[in-house]
Amino acid sequence: MLRDITPVTVVVGGFFGDEGKGKIVGYLGLKDRPSAAVRTGSINAGHTVSFDGRVWKLRVVPSAFLCSACRLYVPAGALISIPVFLNEVLETGCSGRIFLDYNAGIITEEHVARERSDELMKQIGSTKQGVGAANSDRIMRRLKLAKDYEELRSYLRDVALEVNEFVDKGEHVLIEGTQGFYLSLYFGTYPYVTSRDTSASGVLSEVGVGPKKVDEVLVVFKSYVTRVGEGPLPNELSPEDVERFGFVERASVTGRVRRAAPFNLELARKSVVINSATQVALTKVDVLFKNIQHVKEWGKLPYNVRKWIEDVENVLKVPITLIGTGEDVMAVIDRREEVLGSLKR
């Protein structure tokens, strides 16, 4: 464990979402055993957690829930659907250790209906989960919050204060961003973006943790790029090539087929810079290189795989510390002791 190196870690997506943040956060939960884990964003982003033969597709609960000693939080900046939240609490068995900020926003069926009837939302490829409509109401000061609902009363806390107390005591805190950097309302491919800022700075503002308290920003990239819905995707592959390369995927929330493109160094570099990345995780390397499934040691990777990863690392100028080699959260090559340890010395 790297408690002395990373008391506070923020995990964000580096491309257009679907980078495997759920897998990486699930791994960090089991490996590092944080005291607190916070998930930002809303129900339009699903994080898949696979462990020991079971699969969870989570839209609200933090992916670090696998760590049974970890307190779980949904912050003030998040938007939730009450049925989705309560169902996931039941599914993950985390009742009694998951808490919701008083000021978290609540998505209603009216928000969903409004978004599904909006022609612009159809054109930009919205997931139609009511998130944009709810965010719009929040900006106009019309949105109801978690504190307004009796059925949520037992979950309510001042999440910002509690999380900062963990930080100030030197406890390990893991903050999980959702979606991807290029879906940011400010830095993404506007108007084909989501209704919030998905950068590390935006994630922190949703939680209420200041940037001076953050030690590590871990940006997650997949070994190829995928995108759901409309909007630009540089070097997009044809459906035939997507199938030939084994890049066929479906979105965990909508079930839509993801468009795909090769790994994009230019997009990755900009994401690293604006997010102030201190580490990079690469997922689905086993899809790009078929013969490395479930390898867990750097030295056991074939030379061509290590060379590709090192070439990416050299361009990004940020250490690649976690490498995904399979669906299970524990199918990870963890280079943090080797790489970060040498950097600290």
List strands edge to edge, sheet with 36-39.
Answer: 156-157, 98-101, 71-74, 36-39, 173-180, 8-13, 216-222, 279-283, 320-324, 332-334
- Cα–Cα distance between 171 and 284 in angstroms, integer? 30
Name the residues annotated as catalytic: 18, 47
Beta strands in the chain (DSSP E): 8-13, 36-39, 47-51, 54-58, 71-74, 79-80, 98-101, 105-106, 156-157, 173-180, 216-222, 224-227, 259-262, 279-283, 320-324, 332-334
Sign for the pseudo-dihedral over CA of 332, 163, 319, 336: negative
Q: Which residue has the tokens 């060379």?
A: 307
* Cβ–Cβ under 8 Å, residues 326 and 286: yes
DSSP 309-334: HHHHHHHHTS-EEEEE-SSSTT-EEE
